[in-house]
A = this chain, B = another copy of it.
Amino acid sequence: LKDLAEQLGISISTVSRALKDHPDVNQATKTAVLNLARDLDYEPNLLALNLLNKHSNYIAVIVPRISYHLYAEAISGIEEIAEAKGYNLFICQSNESFEREAAFIKEFNAIRVAGFIISVSSNTNEFGHFKQLQKKNIPLVFFNRAFGDVAASQVIIDNHKAAYHAVDHLYNEGYRNIAYIGGPLNVQISQSREEGYIQALSDHNLNVNGHYIKHIDFSQKEAENATKQLLELSAPPDAILAFSDQLAIGAMLAIKKSGRKIPDDIAVIGFNNEPVDELIEPALTSIDQPAYDMGRKAAQMLFNQIENEISVVETKVLEATLIVRDTSQKSSK
């Protein structure tokens, strides 16, 4: 569009300077350029600019699903920081698919995004695509779900402790046969939660029963099935800690269908503190994660890398909070 501005009969670089309010430019020409630019509603071509700068002011954000409350919140947190820095976000969802995740990384890398903020998909077992980024020195920050074999900055919650607290709470409420419904085995945060769960059982001198531990995909339906199996055990559990509220709700449905009462017969606790938790009956006890802050922090760490051009590997662990509602307190109390 700069050609158009040459209607004024002046050189292209003068126009460029005028547009950028460069000091070395005649006030008269400056206003003339500005006026014409407005009339022609000139828009600088960022593509050209980015090519020139060899990088764009875009941050790629890859999450499993944007519809999960945690990710929607985290994205808003990332947005806040990124916008303040004048960066824009590429948001995309891997749909828990490793292939999509890898394809996005490749694609965004091709347009030279300034950095990546990623919560890894539950089906990601390789890390070549992450290593690729690091080899090229492209800033990368994991949040919520990291990938253990990749030494990158990350902001996560203390999953071990959070699960521990939840089990502790159940114990204090009188539940003794506590089951855990976790995610796929390769999801590290599910593992951490499982370890916290086991630790808490041990510390309370409770047996760790292999039948009480389930590993399923992230779907309400699977949680329902897993719970059904738990209830059919000769010694069914009297409490269930689930990896997410989605899974917890699946468990609740199965429990209701079996005719049992929540929380008197069986307690349920989930993770994520989804808004739905307080709307369902009984209201679901859940572990609240500071999702917005997680996003903010991840973005800050990323900019730290972008601006300092050094790849410091920091790990920020945030605290989660147990929000006690009705599914985990016996009404007889």
Contacts and interface: CB of A to CB of B under 8 A. Distances in A.
A294 interface: no
Contact of A281 (B89, B91, B109, B280): B280
Interface residues of A, number: 38
A41 interface: yes
Contacts of A279: 249, 276, 279-280
A48 B51 contact: yes
A299 to B, nearest CB: 15
A112 B135 CA distance: 30
B92 A92 contact: no
Given A88-B92, A280-B281, 9 more contacts: A41-B132, A43-B106, A43-B110, A45-B112, A46-B111, A65-B72, A66-B91, A90-B90, A91-B92
Copies in the assembly, this chain: 2
Interface in A51-68: 51, 56, 65-67
Interface string A78-115: 01000000001111110100000000001101111000
A111 B45 CA distance: 6
Nearest to A100: B83
A25 interface: no
Nearest to A135: B41
A44 interface: yes
Nearest to A278: B253
A47 B281 contact: no
Contacts of A106: 43
A112 to B, nearest CB: 6
24 contacts: A41-B132, A41-B135, A43-B106, A45-B111, A45-B112, A46-B110, A47-B47, A47-B50, A48-B51, A56-B111, A65-B72, A66-B67, A66-B72, A66-B75, A67-B69, A67-B72, A76-B93, A76-B95, A88-B107, A90-B90, A90-B91, A91-B91, A279-B279, A279-B280
